[in-house]
Chains A and B, each alone.
Chain A
Amino acid sequence: MKKFLIYLSAFVILSLYFVLTIFILPSEFLMTEQLVPEPSFTAILSETNITLGDSFHLDIVSMNNGDYADIHIVSVAFPDLNIIDDVVKITTYDFTLSPSYISVDDEIGSKYSGGVETTLAQYPSIEAMSRPLKPDVQTHFDLLITPQELGLFNIYVKSIGIPHTSDISHYPYSGFLDHQNEYVSVYSVSVNP
């Protein structure tokens, strides 16, 4: 009888264990709110008109205004270049990971999917990354750019927070779409003879 009671109790406890771990607790945890990082940035061009051979600065200050971000990315792309070479130099950089240089035809993530959907890069870019980034912490990414051709020199800037859990987990929220099908702010400098 004593053995029977022990077995019975054990089976009841085991059943409770399986119900709790497979059904009840997972649904409880899945209902908790996910973190929503909210990246933003301000980018300032030192000049909007330069003479060929001169340089200009692009100073970017980015911030996470939302929840803790596992990864905070600021991407600066150069649609008028095929290769970054000596055209762009980083002057200030305080992100936690080293900058990542992306070349034309590299496989890159798209549509804010974090690499689940991919595409091929049509122009080069530099990605600055902090892992993680707490709320209200500023990061700086300044560039010295020396265009080598006449005309309009365009720069695309965007910031993405991961986990990308909402439409405010990227910045800008709307506007021009880049080769990754993600929104960018466009900055232009006229390069004159």
Chain B
Amino acid sequence: MTISTSKPSETFLKSKSEIIFLIGSILTSLGILLVTVGGSWDITNHLLSKPETFSSPPHALMYSGVAVTLFGVVLSFIGWKNLQKFKTSYFLSLKIKLIGIGLLTGAGPFDFIWHSYFGLDGLLSPPHFTLITGMFLCSIGGMVGISRYLKFHNSKSVSKHLLILAVIPVWLSASGIISSLSLPFSSTDFFQFNPEPTFAFIVASLAYPFLISFSLFMVFRLSNYQFGLVSILGGLFLLIYSSTAIVPNFAMIDTVQFYSLNLIPFVIADVFLKLSRSKLSLFFSGGLIGSVFYMVYYPYVMYTYNEILLGKLVSPSLIYFVYFELIETVLLYTLIPSIVMGVLAVIISAKIAKKILIT
């Protein structure tokens, strides 16, 4: 009896294994997206000193995200195990996801122990860094899985919109790593994990421009240069960031109009890349996207520059005053390095996209 029911299910698993792997990859990316959105919202709530509870909405979003990611990785494993072809090609995605989910789920108990011994922690702490690294690896695993599936099946342009879901969690979780290493939000009674201000200044000025350009060029290259995806991905990032970091702070709601203008460089880069894929066009677009990092990472990036340039006490209602006070000075210092990093990301994204797509 057992044998007769297991055979059809085995056949089903084998015939649908690649789709199961794809669904697993999509859920992994979606889960990380939920965790990163919840994380960004949680940081804002901490800055606004909103009451912190175990089941606050940002926390609930993060826990759901971890559960969805875990389910996604399990599905990926089941799918991969039953694959009839491309088993080796999908293994990289699975391997990265497994390491990522190990770190992600291990970070929970680690965080609990840490809290028990040292009380509340800041943005950068060993358990938080474990968590963010796990998120980053899971998102990379999801991106590789989705991209390879679309490549192997010569997917049509509509399916390529899945790449937005594949890349946005990578962008957001990598932003989390950079923020941990540059924002002065990590000082507690027990540990002073705030990054050294000059180091933080350098990290933010180089890594953020690189990441923006890298993320947008990854979606552009993985989609085989499809027009529109750069604008959609950029727009989605702005939407997520504005709804989690700006809108919850009533003092900053008026600045949403300023923030929404940042869609312009993304759309223009998209148009330039549609018109020409010459080196000049690619480098110009990369440099342009890198150069606007201070605007794209409004408002929290200001804290990093305030540490070294002004040293003001920034309470929530003063965030945008200090941000705008700094804008010209920051651009003066960072414009050239940010353009260079944007261009460098264009070159590196080409090499990585090639490896992901196995071309």
User: Hey, which bits of chain A sit against chain B, CB under 8 A?
Assistant: 3, 6-7, 10, 13-14, 17, 20-23, 25-27, 29-30, 32, 34-35, 68, 70-71, 96-97, 113-116, 131-132, 162-163
Measured between alpha carbons, how far is A46 from B158 in the docked complex, in Å? 76
The stretch from B27-35, B90-98, B239-247, B322-330 touching chain A is: B322-330
**Number of contact residues on B: which range applies?**
20 to 34
B275 — nearest CB in chain A belongs to which residue? A3
Q: Which of B254, B288, B324 contacts A30 (CB 8 A)?
A: B324
Do B317 and A22 have beta carbons less than 8 Å apart?
no
Closest CB-CB distance, B301 to chain A, in whole Å? 14
Q: A132-B49, A132-B316 are in contact. Are A30 and B261 (CB under 8 A)?
A: no
Given A10-B272, A70-B317, A131-B49, list of 13 further CB < 8 A pairs? A6-B271, A10-B271, A20-B261, A21-B262, A21-B295, A22-B331, A26-B327, A30-B324, A70-B316, A114-B313, A132-B49, A132-B316, A163-B317
Question: Which 7 pairs of residues, A with B, have the shortest CB-CB distance?
Answer: A114-B313, A70-B315, A131-B49, A26-B324, A17-B264, A25-B258, A10-B268
Contact partners of B49 in chain A: CB under 8 A: 96-97, 131-132
User: Hey, which bits of chain B sit against chain A, CB under 8 A?
Assistant: 48-49, 51, 251, 254-255, 257-258, 261-262, 264-265, 268, 271-272, 275, 288, 295, 311-313, 315-318, 320-321, 324-325, 327-328, 331
A161 — nearest CB in chain B belongs to which residue? B315
Measured between alpha carbons, how far is A71 from B315 in the docked complex, in Å? 8
Do A116 and B261 have beta carbons less than 8 Å apart?
no
Contact partners of A68 in chain B: CB under 8 A: 251, 317
A11 — nearest CB in chain B belongs to which residue? B268
Do B313 and A6 have beta carbons less than 8 Å apart?
no
Contact partners of B325 in chain A: CB under 8 A: 26, 30
Measured between alpha carbons, how far is A70 from B251 in the docked complex, in Å? 10
B316 — nearest CB in chain A belongs to which residue? A70
A32 — nearest CB in chain B belongs to which residue? B254
Contact partners of A116 in chain B: CB under 8 A: 311-313
Do B317 and A35 have beta carbons less than 8 Å apart?
yes
Contact partners of A21 in chain B: CB under 8 A: 258, 261-262, 295, 327
Do A162 and B268 have beta carbons less than 8 Å apart?
no
Q: Which of A3, A29, A71, A113 contacts B321 (CB 8 A)?
A: A29
Contact partners of A113 in chain B: CB under 8 A: 313
Contact partners of A27 in chain B: CB under 8 A: 324
Contact partners of A26 in chain B: CB under 8 A: 324-325, 327-328
Contact partners of A35 in chain B: CB under 8 A: 251, 317
Measured between alpha carbons, how far is A28 from B107 in the docked complex, in Å? 44
Measured between alpha carbons, how far is A103 from B188 in the docked complex, in Å? 18
Closest CB-CB distance, A26 to chain B, in whole Å? 4
